Amino acid sequence: MPYRLSLYVVFALLLSLSCVGDDWIPPKNSKPSEILKEARADTKAKRYSEALAKHVWFHENALKYEPAVNAVRLSSALSDWVKLGKVYPPALEKLIAIRDQIEKRAKDGEDIGRAFEDLANINEYLGDYTNTVECFMSIEKNYPDSAPLALLFAKKAILKTKEYQIYAKYITGTTDFLAFKETYELSKSTSSQRGKTKKHPSEDVEKTFRHETVTLVAVLVNVGRKQEANEIAELARAMIDDKKFHMTLDAALKGIVPDPWP
């Protein structure tokens, strides 16, 4: 009898420990950024169930209290969550379950912008680009008017999975390039008027211009629009006389698509 009792006590103790996270209740006036810090501290201290509960709360509630943390919510917070999942499988299972719920909402046409942005970012940290592309194709089929918005978030996954024909349906070739060019030149002009600073705002714009142009050229080559690709490459060479940039254009004309950036 004492042996049976001791087993019962051990079982009850283990059960109570496994449910600690489920019992966690966010304090009143919770500050999402502080809850995220706690989640990270809990992970470090191996309080895994508490860490999971706080990650879930942060992901689902942060924007209600601190809209500015959305970038963190969809980047480092997800990265931390996936790391937690590597040592605590229930965390990964929960993240996938949330992803699946978001996928259903997106496919049902509910809040495609926010829902699809969440799905694409979760899948990026899960390394599941195929799921993003499949969901995009469902939106494209059933809600075509929403496809261009969803494409903003699906672009990286589409390029990663080399589904260039999908992406090519939404690019106009030279017209797209001229839009990149206008943005780049406007930023460059604005920076010149402000005078030199430690880092010009145009630096990131130029990097974006170069990357978008090279990507556009390479995709056009891959879908058989070589003439457009050549025309854009020549216009880009005339704009920026830089050997490294010209080499990337040469690679693009061979169909080599650069890794998505940022």
CATH number at residue 155: 1.25.40
Using CA atoms, how far apart are residues 153 and 212, in angstroms rounded to an integer?
15
Q: Is residue 75 part of a domain?
A: yes
pLDDT score for 30: 85
pTM of the entire predicted model:
0.84
**Is residue 187 domain-shared with residue 156, that is, in the same domain?**
no
pLDDT score for 46: 97
**Is residue 203 domain-shared with residue 88, that is, in the same domain?**
no
Q: Is residue 10 part of a domain?
A: no
pLDDT score for 193: 59
Q: Is residue 169 part of a domain?
A: no
Q: Is residue 260 part of a domain?
A: no
Q: Is residue 115 part of a domain?
A: yes
**Residuewise pLDDT in 10s, the chain (262 residues):** 443 434 433 333 343 344 444 578 888 888 999 999 999 999 999 999 999 999 999 999 999 999 999 999 999 999 999 999 999 999 999 999 999 999 999 999 998 999 999 999 999 999 999 999 999 999 999 999 999 999 999 999 999 999 999 999 999 999 999 999 999 988 877 766 555 554 555 678 889 999 999 999 999 999 999 999 999 999 999 999 999 999 999 999 999 999 988 7
When divided into structural domains, the chain yields a total of 2
pLDDT score for 262: 74
pLDDT score for 20: 41
- DSSP-H helix ranges across 19-111: 20-23, 32-44, 48-65, 70-73, 76-87, 89-107
DSSP symbol at 146: G
**Is residue 84 domain-shared with residue 24, that is, in the same domain?**
yes
Using CA atoms, how far apart are residues 236 and 244, in angstroms rounded to an integer?
13
**Is residue 35 domain-shared with residue 143, that is, in the same domain?**
yes
**Is residue 195 domain-shared with residue 157, that is, in the same domain?**
no
Domain boundary among 130, 162, 194: 162
Q: How far is CA 54 from CA 16, 105, 110, in A?
A: 18, 23, 26
**Is residue 39 domain-shared with residue 153, that is, in the same domain?**
yes
pLDDT score for 14: 40
**Is residue 37 domain-shared with residue 119, that is, in the same domain?**
yes
**Is residue 124 domain-shared with residue 83, that is, in the same domain?**
yes
Q: Is residue 1 part of a domain?
A: no
Task: Identify whether 2 is preceded by a cis peptide bond (ω within 30 of 0).
Answer: no
Domain boundary among 141, 162, 183: 162
**Is residue 136 domain-shared with residue 192, that is, in the same domain?**
no
**Is residue 67 domain-shared with residue 44, that is, in the same domain?**
yes
pLDDT score for 172: 93
Give yes or no for a contact between 71 and 35, defined as CB atoms under 8 angstroms apart.
no
**Is residue 151 domain-shared with residue 183, that is, in the same domain?**
no
Using CA atoms, how far apart are residues 83 and 257, in angstroms rounded to an integer?
30
**Is residue 147 domain-shared with residue 236, that is, in the same domain?**
no
Q: Is residue 11 part of a domain?
A: no
Domain span at 206 = 174-252
Q: Is residue 258 part of a domain?
A: no
Count the Cβ atoms, other than its own, within 10 Å of residue 127: 9
